[in-house]
Amino acid sequence: MRFPLGEAIVDIIVDDDDFSMPVSDFFPDRDPELIKKHRGVLEPDFLDLATGMARFAIQSFVLRTATMTILIDSCLGEGKDRPEIPVWHQRRGSGFLDRLRRAGVDPASIDLVFCTHLHIDHVGWNTQSENGRWVPSFPNARYLFGRNELNDWLDQLRTGRALPLHARGLEDSVIPIVEAGRADLVDDGYELGPGLRLLPLPGHTRGQMGVAVDFAQARALFCGDAVHNPLQIYQPGLSTGTCVDPKVGGETRHKIFAEAADNGRLLVPAHFRGQRCAHIHAAGDSYEPVFDVRPGES
Ligand SMILES: [Zn+2]
């Protein structure tokens, strides 16, 4: 799938298009009335009310400008130990790198890999196994990690506070990149290229950042897991059960929705299914998604 962004193009490379979690676990503070009211928008792509499941895609966005190719979030990877999530444990044959090539993107042509945050579904394809070692999957890329995000996770790892699932992701998909000398630690405001700047999006993790795109003809924000599901556009204060600071997550959403509504900025969250991205309209104290971008064939 592909959509234009000014003179750049964005290819959406899906690694898992139907990952489900019980709505009651994932969004413990959801407003059932809002779900009922907006059911026509939320079903079937984002919620399945009959089974009580919230539905997500795990996907990368490849942004190609005149001068560079940037892969944003690297999904799940293959061959990795994830016993806590059986469908992601020791996965094989996902076809992810083939889909990337079919979209016209050779892994060797990627200049930058940026991980919005360091959860396992955003770092997996950073590395692949070669002779029993984890080596970079994108041989010519620099990998950008948020300095605060990486330091927070390394601190959790050192002090034994990281959950085993997260610890494994760091050990097989992040630390090998640092040890190979391929990581650049970056801060809020860092410019990836002309019109491309990192924006802090705390709440889901402490150091999450997004990529704000400000081209002459297009504005967008690749906002990672600041938003998981359009339900949170109707209810911006709604964080997930996995967010480290639910209150700050709500503040982040209010801020990015207000700015997106004012400036016509397209939001590109990491896990939206359906049309994958949305414009935002202000609606009283809240907001509404407008799905007016329809990705076409790559
Ligand atoms: Zn995620």
Instruction: Please name every residue paired with 56 in a beta bridge, in sequence order, or none if there are none.
Output: 19
How many A from CA of 59 to the centre of ligand 1? Answer: 9
pLDDT in tens, 196-232: 999 999 999 999 999 999 999 999 999 999 999 999 9
How many A from CA of 117 to the centre of ligand 1? Answer: 8
- Percent of the chain exceeding pLDDT 90 equals 99
pLDDT in tens, 216-275: 999 999 999 999 999 999 999 999 999 999 999 999 999 999 999 999 999 999 999 999
Tell me what the pLDDT averaged over the chain comes to. 97
Q: How far apart are CA 85 and CA 89, in angstroms?
A: 6
pLDDT in tens, 35-65: 999 999 999 999 999 999 999 999 999 999 9
How many A from CA of 271 to the centre of ligand 1? Answer: 7
**Cis-peptide, bond into residue 4, ω within 30° of zero:** no
CB atoms within 10 A of CB 242: 14
Place of tokens 């700015």: 259
Give the model's confidence band at 298: pLDDT under 50 very low, under 70 low, under 90 confident, else very high.
confident
Residue range 2-290, CATH number:
3.60.15.10
- Which pairs count as long-range contacts for 240-247, CB under 8 Å and 24+ apart, including other chains? 240/26, 240/27, 240/204, 241/25, 241/26, 241/27, 241/28, 242/26, 242/204, 243/203, 243/204, 244/203, 244/204, 244/205, 244/206, 245/202, 245/203, 245/206, 246/29, 246/203, 247/203
Q: How far apart are CA 215 and CA 210, in angstroms?
A: 16
pTM of the model: 0.97
How many A from CA of 227 to the centre of ligand 1? Answer: 9
Of residues 297 and 147, the one with the higher pLDDT is: 147
CB atoms within 10 A of CB 68: 16
How many A from CA of 75 to the centre of ligand 1? Answer: 8
pLDDT of residue 297: 85
How many A from CA of 129 to the centre of ligand 1? Answer: 22
pLDDT of residue 117: 98
Across 15-32, average pLDDT: 96
Residue 179 burial by Cβ neighbours in a 10 Å radius (0-12, 13-18, 19+) = exposed
Find how far residue 68's CA is from the centre of its chain. Answer: 20
Position 285 pLDDT exceeds 90: no
How many A from CA of 228 to the centre of ligand 1? Answer: 8
Across 80-91, average pLDDT: 97
pLDDT in tens, 90-118: 999 999 999 999 999 999 999 999 999 99
